Amino acid sequence: NAGVTQTPKFQVLKTGQSMTLQCAQDMNHNSMYWYRQDPGMGLRLIYYSASEGTTDKGEVPNGYNVSRLNKREFSLRLESAAPSQTSVYFCASSVGTSGRVYEQYFGPGTRLTVT
Amino acid sequence: AQSVTQLDSQVPVFEEAPVELRCNYSSSVSVYLFWYVQYPNQGLQLLLKYLSGSTLVESINGFEAEFNKSQTSFHLRKPSVHISDTAEYFCAVIPNTGGFKTIFGAGTRLFVKA
């Protein structure tokens, strides 16, 4: 099993450009998440998908959109990138059955720089 | 709402010395507690978790953490660290009623020196 995979690994954007970060998991998990990691701030939840067909805002959703394409894939889109979105982005997944949620499994991350 | 405070942002320690990484949490409901580890340029991995039962939980690589409900703490300890333990460690909580919003602490960077 590959676990959680993310593409791309690195990306540099100019202010105002758009891009989509891709995430896929092969563990048959129901729930998927997008986080950003900034120095000294831990991980902050951007959006999550409790199950296929649903998405909800997390702590810092402004400037982002998501799509749960199917059970395996969950993408994050930046419509108009801003320097404040320079960060490391992590996708994660969790079993999430019967409304109970335990540990999460993380991808390797995407390092995004917006100039 | 929940919050997590990791009391040390950086902990330098010599190889084979003991270490404790401190974590306190605040919550109006009971929680599940986790420690995750992040090695350089990698994603987070689960190190250990407390869901219920014995308040002392252990990982396969020698770390342990003790849930202390009265002090709302979940400190991580290892009696003898290795160079390979150099990483960032995150404490996290989630309400035991379910839900999808894990709250992470800001992280503690453990640096093991030879």
Minimum Cα–Cα distance from B95: chain A residue: A101
Give the residue from B81, B103, B80 showing the smallest Cα distance to B90.
Answer: B103
For B59, other C-beta atoms within 10 Å of its C-beta total 16
pLDDT score, position A97: 65
CB pair distance less than 8 Å for B101 and A48: yes
pLDDT score, position A70: 95
Distance CA A22, CA B2 (A): 30
CB pair distance less than 8 Å for B44 and A90: yes
Question: Cα separations (Å) of A104 from A12, A52, B52?
Answer: 28, 17, 18
pLDDT score, position B62: 93
CB pair distance less than 8 Å for B104 and A103: no
Minimum Cα–Cα distance from A97: chain B residue: B98
Residue A94: what residue type?
S
CB pair distance less than 8 Å for B106 and A41: yes
- What are the pLDDT digits (tens) for A42-94? 899 999 998 899 999 999 999 999 999 899 999 999 999 999 999 999 999 99
Q: What are the residues of chain A with a beta carbon less than 8 Å away from any beta carbon of chain B?
A: 4, 31, 33, 40-45, 48, 50, 56, 58-59, 90, 92, 94, 96, 99-109
**Residues in chain B closer than 8 A to A7 (CB atoms):** none
pLDDT score, position A42: 86
Q: What is the band of B1 on the pLDDT scale with cuts at 50, 70, 90?
A: confident
Distance CA A18, CA A12 (A): 11
